[in-house]
Amino acid sequence: MGRFKFLPKEKISRLPETAGVYVFSAQGGSATGGKDNKKILYIGKAVNIKERVKNHFYQPHSLWEKALLRQGFGGRVGYIKTESEIEALLLEAKLIKKYQPKFNVLWRDDKNYFYIGITKEEFPTVFITHQPKQDLKPKTYNLKPIYIGPFVDGSALKQTIKVLRKAFPYRTCKVGQKRSCLWYQLKLCPGPCLLNSKVVQEIPNFRLRIKSESQRNIKNLKNFLKGNKINVLKELKKDMKKAAGIRDFEGAAKIRDQILSLERILSHAKIIESPKILEYQWDSTQKIIQKIVRKKIKISRIEAYDVSNIQGKEATGAMVTFIKGLPDKNYYRRFKIRIAGKPNDTAMIKEVLKRRFLHPEWNYPDLILIDGGRAQLNAAVMIKNKKRRTKKIFVVTLAKKENELYLEGRREPILLKSLPRGIFNLTLQLRDEAHRFAIAYHRKLRIKKLLN
């Protein structure tokens, strides 16, 4: 854990515009422990430390902000930068527990904080609760769970657990039920639900392997939530080499995927800002997008598209919708591709867009992002230009290989990494969500076909 760097209130314009944790300290206060703990007034987290702190002073919403300003805050503002937004969330919880800041505690009782519970079972499960001591339900949990927290932001915590589950799958199903759970099909459960299945009973040491994987995932999840990111990555790399050394290439590949998933989550998972703050920030995001596309168009609704198939079979398309930077699942749509023969990605995108534009009641987007390159861009522009009401929609495609953005009306692509961090994050989030949704539907159709 790093130490806070402090600035006087008058110099908050020098605060970094990165993710991290910030602190309001009374005059002369520090974050080094001892008696100074009493001078730590408030600890918070942010995607952009500078903007968040400015909001506290210039746009106070909550009671504690107004109380702090009424008292004439003349102290200092400290900060610790983190490499990701998830790390900021975890560090905030750690520091609140350590320092018990006056304004964090004053406006909240124990019921308003959140904790992550992890059960001590053969196949552990993970849950979120308000009151750890009163959450022991004998019918549900046979052994006393361990708790990590406190966390302030419940919605951010739920999103964090959701994204971390992609790297560290854990059980939420019943052990040994008749068929695999949905989470297993989505690769978010190690598979204890399959223990009584005839299919796996012939696999040697299946229970032992699933137990080992479950325990390892929970151990790494627990360490990560406690802020030990470097140790977790080291352990995973060590386990991967060990698996490869005994020629367990399937196991090594699984761990490799965990490492890649975790690194990806840490690089651009967007989870910690409240909807009010995100809405406030959308205006500046919109202005940046307008500069990139070189058009002064209102951008509120963005739709992202992806297609999925294996050798042309069970071909599917997916549409996800973000409004002011936030996903709106009410407007997610799935398409079963109808093209005869073996379809290609460009033809599938054409079909999906044609069918989507037949539904004005869904509301048309301001901008469309498609997984693909120049060919997909040209196809999408051709389709949307056929209707008067869809001509205004701006089209962008994102090519996977080099993460290049192809923009309507521009010859040369733009490297995604050259764009501001917020746009970089949003673009990847849109693409990844469309890909996830398309793959999930494709898997569902494949499983349905196998069962039939």
201-230 mean pLDDT: 85
- Per-range mean pLDDT, top range of 341-350, 354-363, 438-447: 354-363
Q: 266 falls in which pLDDT band (50, 70, 90)? A: low
150 preceded by a cis bond (ω within 30 of 0): yes
User: pTM to 2 decimals?
Assistant: 0.49
Q: Same CATH topology for 5-107 and 275-451?
A: no
Predicted pLDDT at 143: 60
Predicted pLDDT at 308: 83
Predicted pLDDT at 109: 46
Predicted pLDDT at 85: 82
Return the CATH architecture of domain 275-451: 2-Layer Sandwich (3.30)
| Between 404 and 342, the higher pLDDT residue | 404
Q: Given a cut of 90, is residue 379 above it in pLDDT?
A: yes
120-147 mean pLDDT: 71
Percent of the chain with pLDDT over 70: 83
Q: How far is 292 from 426, CA to CA, in rounded Å?
A: 14
What would the pLDDT profile of 81-123 be if each residue is shown by its tens digit?
988 888 888 888 888 888 888 777 654 544 467 888 898 888 9
R_g of the chain computed on alpha carbons: 24
CATH of domain 5-107: 3.40.1440.10
DSSP state of 42: E
- Per-range mean pLDDT, top range of 32-46, 52-66, 418-432: 418-432
pLDDT-wise least confident of 138-147, 300-309, 347-356, 369-378: 138-147
- List all residues 6 or more positions away from 110 whose beta carbon is below 8 Å from its beta carbon: 130, 131
Q: Given a cut of 80, is residue 198 above it in pLDDT?
A: no
Predicted pLDDT at 142: 53
Predicted pLDDT at 259: 83
Q: How far is 315 from 251, CA to CA, in rounded Å?
A: 29
pLDDT-wise least confident of 35-49, 98-112, 379-393: 98-112
| Mean pLDDT across the chain | 81
Q: What residues are paired with 46 via a beta bridge?
A: 20
Q: How far is 122 from 120, CA to CA, in rounded Å?
A: 7
Q: Which burial class, exposed, middle or buried, applies to 386 when counting CB atoms under 10 A from its CB (0-12, 13-18, 19+)?
A: exposed
List the domain boundaries for the chain. Answer: 5-107, 112-268, 275-451
Q: 26 falls in which pLDDT band (50, 70, 90)? A: confident
130-152 mean pLDDT: 65
Q: Which burial class, exposed, middle or buried, applies to 247 when counting CB atoms under 10 A from its CB (0-12, 13-18, 19+)?
A: exposed
157-162 mean pLDDT: 84
What would the pLDDT profile of 171-190 be if each residue is shown by its tens digit?
998 887 777 888 888 889 99
Q: Given a cut of 70, is residue 253 above it in pLDDT?
A: yes
Q: Given a cut of 60, is residue 243 above it in pLDDT?
A: yes
403-432 mean pLDDT: 88
Q: Given a cut of 50, is residue 446 above it in pLDDT?
A: yes
| Between 418 and 66, the higher pLDDT residue | 418
243-253 mean pLDDT: 84
Predicted pLDDT at 450: 66
Q: Given a cut of 50, is residue 271 above it in pLDDT?
A: no
DSSP string, 350-410: HHHHHHHTT-GGG---SEEEEES-HHHHHHHHHHHTTSGGGTT-EEEEEETTTTEEEETT-
156-184 mean pLDDT: 85
Six token digits for residue 209: 């392997």
